[in-house]
Every structure is written in C-alpha cells, then in structure tokens.
Amino acid sequence: MEITELTVKEIVEKIKKKEIGVKETVLAYLKNIEDKDNNIKAFLSINNEEALIKAEELDKENEKNGQIFGIPVAIKDNINVYGTETTAGSKILKGYISPYDATVVKKIKEQNGIVIGKTNCDEFAMGSSTENSAFFNTKNPINTYYVPGGSSGGSAASVAANETAAAFGSDTGGSIREPAGFCGIVGLKPTYGRVSRYGLIAFGSSLDVIGPLAKNVEDAAILTNVIAGFDRKDETTANLPVENYTDFLKRGVKGKKLGVIKEINDFKIQDEVSITLKEAINKLEVQGCEIEEVSIPHLKYALPTYYLIAPSEASSNLSRFDGVRYGLEGIGDNLRDFYEDTRTKGFGREVKRRILIGTFALSEGYFDEYYLKASKVRRLIAMDFEKVFEKVDALILPTTATTAFKFNEKKNPLEMYMSDIFTMPMNLAGIPAISIPFGKDNKGLPIGIQIAGKWFEEGEIFQISYALEQLKES
Amino acid sequence: MYKPTIGLEIHVQLMTKTKIFCSCSTEFASEPNTHVCPVCIGLPGALPVLNEKAVKYGVKLGIALNAYINKFSSFYRKNYFYPDLPKGYQITQYIIPIAKGGYLEVGGSGAQKKKIRIERAHIEEDSGKSIHAGNITESEFSFIDFNRSGIPLMEIVTLPDIETPDEAYDFLILLRSIIRYIGVSTGDMEKGAMRCDVNISVSKDETMGTKVEIKNLNSFRSVKRALEYEIERQVSALKKGERIVQETRHFDEKEDTTKPMRTKEELNDYRYFPEPDLPPLVLSDEFIENIKNTIPELPNTKEERYIKEFEISSDYARTIAYNPKLAEYFENIVKYVGIKRAKAVANFIMLDISAYLNETKKEIDKIDFTKEKFKELLDLIDNKTISRNTAKEVINESLRTGKTPSEIVSKKGRTQITDETSIKEFVIDVLKENDAQVNQYLSGKTKVMAYLTGQVMKKSKGKANPEIINKVLYNELENLKK
C-alpha cells in the first residue's frame, strides 16, 4: 500500500517503528500533489521547502513524540500559519503573509505535525462549493465534474485525493461537514468553544469553529485531540477538561439512544440519501441502538436565522479589510473613495452580498426586527436541541439533502444556501456534529451521514460514528 | 435671561500596564507603532482578551463617582470606518455599562455644593492616533500610530446638570483629583490621558435649546473658554432671532472660538451589536467589595475636614486637598507638628513651598523639606528666635540647600536679637540721626513711629525682634517728651 493511502494512525505508527521516514512520507504526498493538483486544485499554496526541512529535522529526532508525529496536514487558507500567505480565498488578502500562527496551528506544530500547504476555500468561507474562491475552482476528486463542497472544499478534496494525510477546515454553517460529505471523507464540527478560534479569520464569530477533515473517524478523533481545549487567547473557549477521544471509539452503541428529527422530512431530500439514512439507522438498531423520533420545531427557521446572524457578524468582521494596513490597496482622492475602491476591487460578489445583508440587518431601525429577532429564534433553536437531548444521546440525519452538484449548477444564491440546511442548525445551537461517508448514489457520488451530539460531548459522536463506519459496505 | 445647559462626556485613559484586549505595553513610546500586536492593529484572525486590571480600574472609578456597579455588563461593537480604528469597530459597552447613576458635588463648601449627576460610565478601547502633515484637509498624507490603539478608556457621561463654565471647570478638576487619588490615571488633559467633549444649549425658559457639541478641548482652560464663547455666540444669535444649528463644533485654541466642523460624516449609524468575541462581564460582590476597600479618602471629604479640623481657609483647603501629593505632605507635617500649627503649615506650603515648586518645576514629593525641618522652623518662630519675615528666607534657603533651619539661622547669625539692651543701642543711634522725625513725633504725628522702627530694623540688619523694637522705641520717645 502506498504511504498516501494510509491513515494518520497508520503513518504515525510506521514512523515511530522506523518503518518509514518522515521525509519519505512528506515526499510521497508532495509527489501526489504534483501529480494531481494541477487538475484537482485543492491547494492555494504549497509549503514544500519548509515541510521538507521540518521532515528532515523530525527524522533526526530519537524520541518520536507527538500524536501526529511527521504527519503532513493541509490548512484551510482562512487559518493563519506563520510566514505563509493567508488569503481566506480573497483577492483583498492576496500576498498577505501572516506574522503569527493560529492556536490550532501552534498545537499541530507542538504535536510535530507538518503543514504541507494552504487549501482553497470560498472567499472568507462564504459558500458551499468553493466556487466563491477568488482564485480558482477546486474539483471533487471523486468526480471532477462536480464541486467538492465548501467552504472547506480544498481541505476536503486534498484529503480525498490523498494529497495530504489530513486537513483542517472551519465550519460556520456546514463548511467542514458538507465538503466532507461531498468528497466521501470524515469531517467534524466540534462544539463552539471546544477549539480556539484565535488565528481563524472571522466570518461569523459566534458560529465559526475549526475542525478536522480526515480519512476515517479514528483519524478525526486523533486530530481533534490535537486541537481541542481552552485557549487564553480566545475568551469564547470553554475551560473544561478535554477527554481523549480515541478512548471512545470502540465502546459500541448498545443501548445508545439516537434521535431522528421529524422535521427534516419537510425538506426535499434526494431519494438515495433518504434510503441510505434509513439503512444506517437500521444497521445501528441491529447493533442495539434505540431509535426515537424527535422534534426540532424551529428547524424551518434555521436558514433565515442563520442568514441574518452570520452576515451581520461578517459585515463587522470584514470591516478591517480597508486597505490601510495590509492587503489590497485601492486608490482614491479622499478616504471614502479609497475605501470604496479597495473593497469594490477586493471582495467578490457573495462577500459583498453578505456584507450588504449584514449591514442592513444591523442598521438603526432594523436591528430589532432582524438581528435581535434572529438572536431570539436562535435561542429557541438551541432550546429545541436542549430538550431533545434530554431524551436522546445523539441525532442522526443526512449531512446534505443531495450529493455533490456540478459547477455552476446553483446559480441562485438561495439555492446554494439550501445546501447547508441540515448543517447550519448545529452552528446556531453550538453543538458538535460529524459527517461520515456512508454509501454512494447511482452516480457514484458519496453520501454523508451526520451524527450530532450534546455540547462538549464529541466523545459520544465519535463513538457512534465509529460504530457506523464499521457497518459501511465497502 | 438665557440659561445654559451643559453636559460633559469625558474619556479617561486607565493606567494599566498592558492594553485592554492584548498584552502590549501602554507605556509612552517615542517610536510610533512599537507597542503593537495582531490584536491591537486588527490583523485577520486576532481576538480580544479582556484585561482584568482595566475592569478593576473601571469599577474603582465607578465607585469613586458614587455610581452603581453593574454586576453584569457586556461589550458591543461600535462600527465605523476610520484609518486609526484598525478593526473597523470599537469594542465598547453600550446597553449595560459597568457603572451607572453616580454624582459629584462641586463648587463652594458644605451645603453650597452642587450635585452634578453622572448618567453612566463604561469601559472601552482607545483608537490609534492619526498624525496629519499640517492641516487635516490639506495634508497630502497622514500617519497612524497604533501605540495608543487598545489603551483602556473609561467614558464618563454626565447629565446636563451643569449651568456655568465655572461649574464645568470645577467638575473637571474635582474629577481629575479623584482619578489621581485612586490612581487609575494621570488625568493629564494636555497629554490626552483625560479628554472632554461638551454638549451645550441655551434657553430662556424650561424648554431645552438646540444642543451643540464641542470637540478638541485639550485643557481645562479650553473647556471653560469654549463654553464661555459658545454661550455668548448662542445667546447673541438667539437675540437676533437666529436659530441654533444642531452640530459639532471644533474649539480653536488660538482664537478662543468655536467653529463648525467641516466634515459631513455626522450621520453615522454605528450598527451596535453584541461583541461575539467576548462573553458578558460578570462581577462578584466580593470583587466589587475588595475594590471598594482600596479607595482612599477623596478630595471633597478631605477639603471639608481641613476646614473643620484645621481651620484653614477654604481656598487653601481645596488646593491642598485636590492634590494628592500635596495633601499627603501636608497631613504628614501636621501629624508631626500638631494640629494647632496646621494653619501655619498650610501658609508655608501655599506661599513659600508652592512658589519654590513652580519656579523649579519640581513635585512636592521630590523636595527635602522634611517634617523635622518643618518643626524646627515653626519652633524658631514660636520661641521668637526668628521673625516670620526671616522664616521665609530660611525656608527658601533650606529648600535650595537642604540645610536645616537651625543650621541656617546660626550660621548666618540670623538669630533674632531679643535682648533689650542691645536693641536700645540701635534705638538711641537712630533717634540721634533722625531729629526731624523725632520732632514730628513729639508734635503729635505718632505715625512716624513706623519709619523709625524700620530704621532700627535696618540698623540691626533685620535681626532685631520687631515687637521689642516697638516697645523700646516707644519708651525712649515718651521719655523725650518729659
């Protein structure tokens, strides 16, 4: 078996047993990138020199310490990596070299992971297909006529194409889970506050979470171990102990109570997705899982709520891109013209749309009607989940209503927004959710099944999704 | 009769070691943009972390302003674009400030004092500083120094209880004094550690006039002058039947006038919304109580006490009480020399020591006129070794040379001549030399005695005790009558 087909766990074991070298591993992935990425285009920048230097250093170490020792990881381009270009997929940050590491990157480096490159994404993580990247489209490695999903499309594609052993992305409304589902890999959105956002270029600050994209559940658990935990630099992280997530994997699902949300039937779901979900449920039931129908009455308001909260926060978060200190610098005879020119040239259509929506929703006279109302509904949605979790341990639902779509297929922004209908409620509530590949549709496109759990109980969803993964027909 | 209604908005820089949302130093740096980091220059991905010390200082100031401390408050984003605002928003408190509903009593003493109510006080971050090459409108380019970006501020908003420029002035100097006592800021307006905007309207009746805001007030004097000018301007405009335009005006320090600001960016919608990067600020009773216990006696109380206990003039009492270092020095001396001599101590401080400090630009805590020296000086006066006039010279010399008063007095032979026989010799000499004046006295013009006393003093090189001169001189002159 090629190194690049191995899991994170397998590679670390082989390196620690000195069966393979770190440099050998990194070279194998760089070779894959060289061979495939002209076509897939998952990466915005490749960190080959730095990665090889680090690999050589690690090869010289006698003590092979670190949970991801020698593992090449790809980082979504909206996460700061010291000394590398960090653009968040936007022209406004083209050429911006980050002077610091995000906390997750620091933790990855502490565990001796190797940043192999920065991956493409929708501009400022706004999108569900990576088509909103200011630079180029990323293709779905399963079928290159299809989008990889988004916004962490580059991260998902790089893992699916074996261009990296693992990747990290960010999830504001589904941006890890949807591309993981489309590309047939595993993606976790941790609980809000479980992973530091320090160094993640903010989109919707109260929704954004960094999480792993991996080949399987076990790898996702290992990668979550690396990045989870309280961070003094992010006041929204929870000061709670972090469990070792790999301990949960093999505990089985006997006696676990799984909820199936009644209201998802109000949405149009692709037949094969529905069938696959039923199949997954049946198989879990056979393993001793108890299945119960539950209700999230406010589910239908998730989309409008999300599209007020996220753009409102984004409109403010993106104000710092004004051309004064860094990034693209426009021209103008006065301050106003300068700002206008910078931001007109620097931002793409979708970003501008969301800034406009957000600015409007926060405006005097509209704040109560839009932002405030949405915040209240958000609370109701969270309470729906709270109530449901009194009865069940976790929820099972599709990651997306359909499998991957083709480039330029979703021309209407609302249609694109609908791609995240089953993922954004978890961001609004702040709960963790994982997407794992389970079956394919008749075009051979992967179907993602989502397991959502209680706040800070990532262990539980690793346990259930691991069991489900074992039931997959290969 | 038109009556002004004035409200103040004051920003106080809190003297924490590090900035409010990052660990950059707040120290003054001559080199611009040296105390900066991803957080305070708004780099992508950076997040704020609230400085606990800034919260403590905010609470402390709130308590000193007699305000209610909210145990639950929260941060908002105030959104607007400006080059010195790196994030495109200022993190501030909005709906629930850390402190609300306080007051300060200003003016006269006791019952004459006037209560100025404080609506609210909240903590927020300072912006960077724009430096324009010459005039802002004509400048080809501007520089921005982000050293100031993220310095903690407390914004204090008064209710419109102020009715005269003097009251505004009194309020500000009292506030500055309090700030210095509790040690949360230097309160230097000239250095921007305390900044004040004013709102002013005038009206003939109970209805409120049109409010005008004045900015660019960089000293206490500017505040007073700007208000005086603005009241005059508004009143004369109204008398001419003109209407007052609601606007923001700029104070011109050179001309002592206010002028409309040219920028038309007044219609700002700040799109306030809760800061998602910071959880609500929750304070425990214990936290607040602990801070309360660190608040020293404040200037108003001190002033009253000085007047009552020490019987010193209200002017002196206020000047000493408002200056923490001066008050500490004063109280320290009084404690050592005794309450009965407090008045004399106050006089020496206010006249001789103050003059010396002004002249040498020194601070009171940098001088060496110790309580022991002070006591020596007072003793020398009380046992009539030296006159008050001599005492002035002695204290001055002591301040300059560091010598003790008795050293000075004995070395220079300044010891007063109290011996009647010695003084009599001077007197007889003077009477011999001033026939004309002696005759005037004998003919009833007793006023001439003052002149003769002066002559005796001169002859004794200022050393003779004036009371004894008087006594001896009188006796000798009366003897001549016989």
A438-448 pLDDT tens trace: 999 999 999 99
- For residue A52, CA distances in Å to A21, A71, A97, A151 come to 11, 12, 20, 28
Comparing CB atoms, the residue among A86, A312, A335 nearest residue B44 is A86
B/e letters for A140-166, b = 16+ CB within 10 Å, e = fewer, are: bbbebebbbbbbbbbbbbbbbbbbbbb
Tokens of A224: 């979550």
Q: By the 8 A CB rule, do B476 and B430 touch?
A: no
Dist. CA B361–CA B389, nearest whole Å = 24
Q: Quick one: DSSP state of residue A96?
A: P
Phi, psi at residue B53, to the nearest 5°?
Answer: -65, -40
What is the three-class DSSP state of B375?
A: helix
Tokens of A219: 């790898």
- Neighbouring C-beta atoms of residue B108, cutoff 10 Å: 12
Give the pLDDT score at A454. Answer: 98
Question: Cβ contact (<8 Å) for B279 and A197?
Answer: no
Cα first-last separation, chain A: 17
Tell me which architecture the domain covering B420-481 has in CATH.
Orthogonal Bundle (1.10)
Question: Cβ contact (<8 Å) for B83 and A322?
Answer: yes
Q: What is the pLDDT of residues A310-358, one digit of tens each?
A: 999 999 999 999 999 999 999 998 899 999 999 999 999 999 999 999 9
Question: Cβ contact (<8 Å) for A88 and B44?
Answer: yes
Q: By the 8 A CB rule, do A229 and A464 touch?
A: no
What is the three-class DSSP state of B211?
A: coil
Dist. CA A124–CA A133, nearest whole Å = 8
Spell out the alpha helix ranges (H) of A184-248.
217-227
Phi, psi at residue B193, to the nearest 5°?
Answer: -75, -20
**Residue B383: burial class (beta carbons within 10 Å; 0-12, 13-18, 19+):** exposed
Q: By the 8 A CB rule, do A223 and A166 touch?
A: yes
Total residue length of chain A: 474
Count of H helices and E strands in chain B? 16, 16
Residue B456 identity (one-letter amino acid) = V
Give the pLDDT score at B412. Answer: 63
| CA-closest candidate to residue A188, choices A165, A207, A209 | A209
Mutate to test the interface with A, among B129, B273, B278 (most CBs of A within 10 A): B273
The full set of domains in chain A, from first to last, is: 3-248 (3.90.1300.10)
Residues of chain B with CATH 1.10.10.410: 420-481
Comparing CB atoms, the residue among A78, A79, A316 nearest residue B79 is A316
Element spanning B3, H or E: strand B3-13
Q: By the 8 A CB rule, do B440 and B481 touch?
A: no
Tell me the DSSP string of B383-413.
TTSS-HHHHHHHHHHHHHH---HHHHHHHTT
Residue B453 identity (one-letter amino acid) = T
Q: By the 8 A CB rule, do A173 and A439 touch?
A: no
Strand partners, A171: A209
Question: Cβ contact (<8 Å) for B277 and A236?
Answer: yes
CA angle A293–A295–A298, rounded 5-degree value: 160
| A185 Cβ contact partners less than 8 Å away, ≥ 6 residues apart | A156, A159, A160, A213, A214, A215, A437
Mean of all residue pLDDT scores within chain A: 97
Question: Cβ contact (<8 Å) for A96 and B48?
Answer: no
Which residues of A are less than 8 Å from B42 in CB distance? 320, 325
Q: What is the pLDDT of residues A107-140, one digit of tens each?
A: 999 999 999 999 999 999 999 999 999 999 999 9
Q: By the 8 A CB rule, do A115 and A52 touch?
A: no
- For residue A37, CA distances in Å to A72, A160, B107 come to 16, 12, 77
Strand partners, A436: A449
Asked if the bond preceding B406 is cis, omega within 30° of 0, the reply is no
Tokens of A370: 């839009």
Tokens of B209: 């006039």
Q: By the 8 A CB rule, do A324 and B143 touch?
A: no
- Neighbouring C-beta atoms of residue B120, cutoff 10 Å: 22
Residues within 8 A of B (CB atoms), A 80-139 only: 80, 86, 88, 93, 96, 98-100, 102
- Active-site positions of A read 76, 151, 175
Mean pLDDT of A417-438: 97
Dist. CA A169–CA A375, nearest whole Å = 26
Which residues of B are less than 8 Å from A362 in CB distance? 79, 271-273
- Neighbouring C-beta atoms of residue A415, cutoff 10 Å: 12
Strand partners, A169: A211
Question: Cβ contact (<8 Å) for B38 and A236?
Answer: no
What is the three-class DSSP state of B471?
A: helix
Query: Does residue A465 carry a pLDDT above 60?
Result: yes
Q: Tell me the pLDDT of chain B (482 aa) as tens digits.
A: 899 999 999 999 999 999 999 999 999 877 999 999 999 999 999 999 999 999 999 999 999 999 999 999 999 999 999 999 999 999 999 999 999 999 999 987 667 889 999 999 999 999 999 888 776 666 777 899 999 999 999 999 999 999 999 999 999 999 999 999 999 999 999 889 999 999 999 999 888 899 999 998 999 999 999 999 999 999 999 999 999 999 999 999 889 999 998 655 556 799 999 999 999 999 999 999 999 999 999 999 999 999 999 999 999 999 999 999 999 999 999 999 999 999 999 999 999 999 999 999 999 998 989 999 999 999 988 877 777 778 888 899 999 998 999 888 877 665 667 777 778 888 888 988 988 888 888 888 888 888 988 888 888 777 787 888 888 888 888 888 77
| CA-closest candidate to residue B423, choices B387, B452, B463, B375 | B463
Cα first-last separation, chain B: 70
| CA-closest candidate to residue A455, choices A257, A228, A191 | A191
Minimum Cα–Cα distance from A204: chain B residue: B276
Give the pLDDT score at B447. Answer: 86
Which residues of B are less than 8 Å from A101 in CB distance? none
Strand partners, A76: A119
